[in-house]
């Protein structure tokens, strides 16, 4: 109005925008007041802070536990204890992780064969049964003593194994359980966990083997009938054997490093790498003595070694005879010229070199203990690469004849489709005594 002294003053019923005092547009909508806008902004900001805090609480609780959650609230000033609250500008110090548990490692990490042979040196101590073999890298394994093995027991094992001891982080896998076993009869060592895989080596009856039970790539090694067991036979050979042929080994374990001393000069390591030990009764001057037969192959020189040793109460070995056999030995066994007081004979089959003969033939020879030249020899189709029904078998001694009569035959040959031939000792050599053909015809040689 024209005479109004204060034209900008707000009149009753007038509506302004709350800031400039100007009258609103003619739409009649009342804008929000200043206090309402501030409250809305505050709520939005508080909600965002709460969401961020909730995310931080969940993440902290998942990662660090309740103590860090309390520290987080304290840093935000949400706990009343000012002494426990930390400044936001000084984040809480990350707690140090506790040290990872460790166990004792005996010896250095090596391939599985070397570690298994190391364990075999300690097997005489009952505490060795608790040790485990763990993979620690590509083709690298370590022998580990769990916490259940006392420190003084670990010390005794280290002395037996002539090895150092160190600490390593506790393995996360269950590892392999080693055990000493021996085949109850001659057994075949296979390359793969299948009896249809190529044979790697023949293992004489009672051979000293280290069985490894547990998870292996592609197969579980386990004991028992119908199973296949992974074994280490020497520093050169490991593979699979039928579990039904294995039993716990109870004899003593000699010092394997001793074996190389009897090999030809410069070939001791070749024998030690390939040596397979078998407990045997060695006849000396007609009397049986407990000992071992040792078989080793020297591929570089295309020859093999067969040694006979006696042992004392401490399992120390004494060489009785050591034979160098031309070629690579496949099978070997001991027999004797007489039932009780005969002389020990070494019977072995061999091939010319690394490769199999194209006709799967082998040279079988019998050696009188201590003599270098064989007293008997035959060429037979007897390779392990043949099916059992197709290969010639040689064994001895035999106490029962083809007609089930009692007697003694140091050597017997059975040819598929041709029959069985038995040999006797005539005082100087093995001579044919009986031939039974596949048609049942019996030929009896002259008796002494």
Query: Where do the CATH 2.30.30 domains begin and end in the chain?
Result: 177-248
As a whole number, the mean pLDDT across the chain is 80
- pLDDT at residue number 60: 45
Taking 60 as the threshold, does the pLDDT of residue 176 lie above it?
Answer: yes
Query: Where do the CATH 3.30.70 domains begin and end in the chain?
Result: 102-169
Which of residues 228 and 89 earns the better pLDDT score? 228
DSSP string, 5-34: S-TTSPPTT----SSS-PPPPTT-PPPPPH
Tokens coding 148: 């259940």
Taking 80 as the threshold, does the pLDDT of residue 441 lie above it?
Answer: no
The model's confidence at residue 107, banded by pLDDT at 50, 70 and 90, is very high
The model's confidence at residue 51, banded by pLDDT at 50, 70 and 90, is low
| Global pTM value | 0.73
Token match 């119908």: residue?
226
- pLDDT at residue number 127: 94
- pLDDT, tens digit, 9 for 90 and up, residues 259-297: 777 777 778 888 888 999 999 988 777 778 899 999 999
State which CATH number among 3.90.1520, 3.30.70, 2.40.160, 2.30.30 fits the domain covering 177-248: 2.30.30
Determine the average pLDDT of the residues in 297-307: 91
In this predicted structure, which of 226-240, 296-310, 394-408 has the lowest mean pLDDT? Answer: 394-408
User: What is the Cα–Cα distance from 52 to 56, expressed in whole angstroms?
Assistant: 6
In this predicted structure, which of 315-319, 420-424, 438-442 has the lowest mean pLDDT? Answer: 438-442
- pLDDT at residue number 170: 87
Determine the average pLDDT of the residues in 67-84: 46
In this predicted structure, which of 195-204, 281-290, 339-348 has the lowest mean pLDDT? Answer: 281-290
What is the CATH architecture of 102-169? 2-Layer Sandwich (3.30)
3-state secondary structure 209-222: EEEEEEEECCEEEC
Please confirm whether the linkage preceding 397 is cis (ω < 30° from 0): yes
- pLDDT, tens digit, 9 for 90 and up, residues 234-256: 999 999 999 998 999 988 888 87
Strand 376-381 and strand 328-336: the pairing is: unpaired
């Amino acid at each position: 109005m024209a005479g109004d002294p204060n034209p900008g003053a707000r009149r009753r019923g007038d509506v302004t925008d709350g800031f400039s005092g100007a009258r609103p547009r003619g739409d009649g909508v009342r804008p929000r007041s200043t206090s309402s806008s501030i409250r809305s902004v505050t709520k939005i900001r508080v909600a965002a802070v709460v969401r961020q805090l909730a995310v931080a609480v969940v993440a902290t609780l998942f990662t660090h536990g309740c103590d860090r959650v309390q520290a987080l609230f304290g840093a935000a000033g949400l706990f009343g204890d000012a002494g426990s609250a930390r400044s936001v500008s000084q984040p809480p110090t990350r707690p140090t992780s506790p040290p990872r548990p460790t166990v004792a490692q005996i010896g250095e990490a090596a391939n599985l064969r070397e570690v298994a042979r190391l364990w075999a040196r300690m097997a005489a101590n009952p505490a060795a049964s608790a040790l485990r073999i763990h993979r620690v890298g590509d083709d690298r394994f370590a022998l580990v003593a769990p916490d259940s093995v006392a420190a003084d027991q670990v010390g005794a094992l280290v002395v037996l194994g002539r090895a150092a001891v160190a600490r390593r982080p506790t393995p996360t896998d269950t590892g392999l359980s080693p055990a000493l076993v021996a085949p109850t009869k001659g057994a075949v060592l296979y390359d793969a966990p299948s009896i249809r895989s190529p044979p790697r080596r023949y293992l004489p009856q009672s051979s000293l083997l280290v069985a490894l039970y547990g998870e292996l790539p592609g197969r579980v090694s386990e004991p028992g009938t119908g199973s296949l067991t992974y074994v280490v036979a020497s520093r050169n050979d490991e593979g699979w054997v039928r579990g039904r042929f294995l039993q716990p080994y109870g004899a003593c374990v000699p010092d394997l490093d001793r074996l190389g001393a009897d090999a030809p000069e410069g070939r001791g390591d070749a024998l030690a790498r390939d040596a397979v030990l078998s407990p045997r009764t060695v006849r000396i001057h007609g009397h049986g003595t407990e000992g071992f037969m040792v078989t080793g192959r020297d591929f570089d020189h295309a020859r093999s070694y067969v040694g006979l040793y006696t042992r004392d109460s401490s399992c120390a070995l004494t060489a009785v005879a050591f034979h160098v056999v031309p070629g690579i030995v496949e099978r070997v066994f001991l027999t004797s010229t007489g039932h009780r007081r005969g002389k020990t004979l070494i019977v072995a089959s061999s091939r010319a070199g690394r490769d199999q003969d194209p006709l799967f033939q082998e040279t079988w020879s019998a050696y009188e203990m201590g003599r270098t030249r064989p007293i008997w020899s035959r060429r037979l189709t007897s390779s392990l690469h043949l099916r059992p029904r197709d290969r010639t078998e040689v064994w001895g001694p035999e106490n029962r004849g083809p007609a089930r009569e009692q007697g003694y035959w140091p050597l017997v040959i059975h040819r598929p489709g041709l029959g069985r031939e038995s040999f006797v000792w005539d005082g100087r050599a093995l001579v044919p005594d009986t031939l039974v053909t596949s048609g049942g015809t019996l030929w009896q040689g002259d008796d002494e």
